[in-house]
A = this chain, B = another copy of it.
Amino acid sequence: MSGELIRIFDTTLRDGEQSPGCSMNLNEKLSLARQLERLGVDVIEAGFPIASDGDFDSVQAIAKTLDDVIVCGLARTAKLDIDRAGQAVESGKKPRIHTFIATSDIHLEHKLRMSREQVLEEVDRAVRQAKSYVDDVEFSAEDATRSDRDYLVEVFSTAVAAGASTLNVPDTVGYTTPREYGALIEYLREHVEGARDASGIIFSVHCHNDLGLAVANSLAAIRAGARQIECTVNGIGERAGNTSLEEIVMALKTRSDEFNGLETGINTVEIYPSSRLLSSVTGVQVQPNKAIVGDNAFAHEAGIHQDGVLKAAITYEIMTPESIGRASNELVLGKHSGRHAFRDRLLELGFEVEGDNFERAFRRFKSLADAKKVIYNEDLEAIVSDSLQTLDDRYGFESLVLQCGSDIPPSARVRLQLDEKVVEREASGVGPVDAIFRAISDLTETSSELIQYQVHAVTAGLDAQGEVSVTIEEEGRRVIGNGVHEDVMVASAKAYVHALNKLEWHKQRRHVDAPRGI
C-alpha cells in the first residue's frame, strides 16, 4: 500500500443518485459537489456519462468546476462508454475514468453472456483505452464477492498490466461478511500481479448494505490493507444503499486505536451540513435513529434528561455533536438581514446561488422572515433547494385557494403558468391534496401515478415551514418533487408541480433502462 491515508471516494452523485427518487439536476449536483469538496473527499464519482446527456453534462461541469478533488466518470468496458467518460472528465484538473465489468459466473451467464476469456480481453482493452484519455484509471470487478477468487486475481492482474492504479472490489449485492471480505482483500493483495506493497496500486472497496454490514465490511477491508472506500452521504444508493460516509469516517476517527491510526482527509465538521444539504435537495430524509446524522443520534439532543448524561457526557457519548458540525437550532438571520449576510450564510451551508435564483431565494427569505419569528439554517436550506429547482421549467405555480374539513367535500382552485400562459382550474377530491393534484393534472393534462406523499416541518415550532415531497411515476420513470411553504397545502401544490417538471426533464434525459453500474 502506498500510504496510511484512507481515500474517501464519494459516489453520492452516481450510485446514490440511482436510488429511487434521488435523481438531481445539474444545479443540485454542482451544489453537492462543491459541498463534497469542502467536506474533503478525495474522489467524487460525478455520474455515468453514457447513461444520458444530463449525466454527461453534470460530470463535465463538475470536472471543470472543482480544483482540489479527483473527479471521476463511470463507464462499462464498452468503447463508447469509455469515450464518453473520457470526454466528460478530460477538461478537469484531476480526471479519473472508472471502468467496470462483472466477473462472477452468475453475471457472466445471466447478464453478460460472455466467457471468462472474453471478459479478460475486455478488461485489457478498456483499461488501455481509458489510459489514452487519463493517467488515473480505476477498474472494478462487478459482483467481485461472488466471483471465483483465482479468476478475480487474473482479472485484476490484467487491469494492472493495462495501467489501472486503483482496483475496486465491489460487494455489488451486499452479500459478504467482514471476515470473508477481509480475507478476500488479503488474498488479492498477495496474489494480484504487480500489486504488492509499494507498487502504488490502491485496493478499493465498494459495499452495499443489504444485510446491514456495509460499514463493517469496509472496515474489515481496511484492516486487510484496502486504502480507498467508496461510500455515499446518508448511505443512499441502490436498494439498501451504500456504505455510509459519515459512519465509516466517524468509526475510523473514534476508534483509531483499532485501525492503526489510519486517517481520512475528511473535515468532519462538514458532515452534518453535507447530510442536510443532500436531504434538502432530494427530499429524502434519514430516519431518526440513523447513526451520526439522525435526529436522535446524540443523546443530549434527543430530549433525554438522563441522570448519567447530565452528570458527565462521557458516560454515554463517544463523540460530540460539534465534531460533525451539529450546532442545531442556531439562529442565523433576522428580518433585517441584507443580501450580503444572506449570501454569506448560504455559502456556509454549501449553496452558491447566483442571478435569478439568488433573487428568488432572497425574496422568499424576506417574506418568510415576516411570517416566522426565527429563521434557522434548515429554513434557508429549504428556501434555496426550492429556488434551485426552477430552471427551464415548463409549469409554474401561481396560486391556490382551498376549502376542506371533516364534513365538507374538499375543493381547490389552482392557478398555474403553463408554457407562458396563466391557466386556472377548480377541482374536488377525496381529500384536499387529492383536490389540488386533480386540478393540477387536469391543467397540465398529465397522468402520472402518485407513489408517495410526505410532509415534514422544516423546523420545530407552530410557525415552521412545511416541506412536501411527492413521488410520482410515469412509464417506469419515478421522480420526487419538493415544495416548501409556511402553508403545507401551498407546499403540496408546489411539490406536485416540481415533480411534473422533473418528469418532463427526465423524459428528455435518461432512458428507463439506462445502465446502472456496480
Contacts and interface: CB of A to CB of B under 8 A. Distances in A.
Interface string A252-296: 001100100000000000000000000000001111111110111
Interface stretch (A86-94, A383-391, A447-455): A447-455
Given A296-B20, A308-B110, A453 B449 contact: no
A291 B240 contact: yes
Given A284-B288, A291-B240, A258 B180 contact: yes
Find the residue from A172, A298, A464 having the highest chain B CB count within 10 A: A464
Interface in A71-89: none
Contact of A287 (B287, B372, B489): B287
Contacts of A216: 178, 212-213, 215-217
B487 A432 contact: yes
Contacts of A314: 106, 110
Interface in A110-131: 110-111
Contacts of A244: 212
Interface string A400-422: 11111111101001000000000
Interface string A220-232: 1001000000000
Given A287-B286, A291-B212, A178 B175 contact: no
Contact of A371 (B430, B452, B488): B430
A178 B110 contact: no
Copies of this chain, whole number: 2
Interface in A481-510: 485-490
A278 B238 CA distance: 25
A423 to B, nearest CB: 15
Interface stretch (A149-157, A338-346, A433-441): A433-441
Contacts of A403: 401-403
Contact of A289 (B178, B236, B404, B457): B236
A398 B122 CA distance: 69
A241 interface: yes
Contacts of A490: 404-406, 431
Find the residue from A179, A250, A286, A314 having the highest chain B CB count within 10 A: A179
A455 B452 contact: no
B220 A211 contact: no
Contact of A410 (B286, B302, B452, B487): B487
A516 to B, nearest CB: 5
A307 B251 CA distance: 36
A461 interface: yes
Given A110-B312, A210-B297, A463 B487 contact: no
Given A306-B513, A403-B402, A429-B462, A254 B211 contact: yes
A362 to B, nearest CB: 19
Given A211-B247, A212-B291, 4 more contacts: A20-B303, A20-B304, A209-B291, A455-B455
Q: Closest 8 CB pairs between A and B?
A: A216-B216, A212-B247, A241-B289, A455-B455, A401-B405, A110-B312, A453-B457, A240-B291
5 contacts: A212-B215, A431-B487, A432-B487, A434-B462, A450-B460
